[in-house]
A and B are shown apart, each in its own frame.
Chain A
Amino acid sequence: MDVSCKKIRTSALMTLFGVMLAGTFSLTTFGEDPRLDIKNLEALSKKASEVVDVNLDGPLLKLASKFMTDEDDREGLEVIKNLKGVYVKSFTFEKPSDYTPADVEAIRSQLQAPAWSRIVSVRDKREGETTEIYLMTEREGGKVLGMAIIDAEPTELTVVNIVGPVDIDKLSQLEGKMGIPRLGEQTKEQKPAGHHEKP
């Protein structure tokens, strides 16, 4: 009796382990993890005159949401409610040659179809600016799983990676609220306060 119980327990554990392993495999191997590897950009910190580095995983987002009690924070709270992570790297350089296309390509290469789809790509040849917005959606149901923004300007490079079901409309509506200026109000000097580094 004991032996058969042990066998059942062992097989149940093996099945559970197999399911977990398969889940991990399907998430990582087939590129369904909306978390991007943006570590390669860390080397640019040395060259940049200004660095904004935001790394917020699930527990930190939960903690932050507990402190977002102002009326002004309500809409931001709505946006981050179900997110699993928010990662931002933004660099401002003195010279246009301080970052290379390869730095951007290393990020872009992770944003491949079918997992990711590019919803916006704007290239301004005259200004030398490129903005790309990518979305990862569920294959069935179309639920948003993550978002990535790459904004490459001659002296500025910004990568935003949002992990989780982000509401793009709500996110864009934040402009003009929560201390977020409307475009045109923001000048280059008006970088957000907080996690700034000035080497």
Chain B
Amino acid sequence: MKPKVAFFDFAGCEGCQLQIANLEEDVLKLIDIVEIVSFREIMKEHSDEYDIAVIEGSIMRPMDEERLKKIRKNAKILVALGACACIGSVQRMLNQWPIEESKKIVYNNFKETKNNPYFDNFSTKAVDEVVKVDAYVPGCPIDRNEFARVLVALVQGKKPPIPDYPLCVECKKKENVCLFELGKFCMGPITRAGCDAICPTHGNECEGCRGFISHPEERAYTEVLEKYGLSVEEILQRKTMFTYRYVEKTKKEAKKDE
């Protein structure tokens, strides 16, 4: 029997699901190996009977947490899809300030938002801060072929083939001119590979949307950025966009050390 797959979206732009819809004819190949029982971007039907739950988006409210925990109970395998689900992505920038302060600025004490569970935000969480995650498909947006590879691996019973080496490896194999040599800054040296260095290949700086590798050489990397002329604030700014999760982690560890 084909494993049943369901897609769920939380806080995010749904762009990662769109990437999967954009697999086009490969979607037809995918449904040869799995049965899609819920995917609102491409079908009307929905079922709560599934083996693999694919979660897109970050977790922002108690009601999201509840819903996610229910999904976890129903699923044998849970996949975090995209940067929002994997690390919290851009909405994690919010975590720089106390949540009440942000809410005041955004909702301006508008009365409909009070005691309304839809507006009951807490600081941004990645999916694995709420439930156990079995596989990650990183990136903003995801690489749709990587998603297909991960799904195939899960069906095969293999460890999902997500690399744990820096982007530089793929960038060098593509024979790109290093962006540092062009006077640009790039998060490649600490960012997880797997996107085939798509941004640097087109001359754009890597912004770390796939998150850091498991053992990033952050200190050596900061020295490099300083050497190439970035200030401490500018370095922090770059790490804040997609990867504030790691900044938070560093802050927490620093606090512990004190």
A and B interact: no
Give B contacts to A, CB under 8 Å. Answer: none
Give A contacts to B, CB under 8 Å. Answer: none
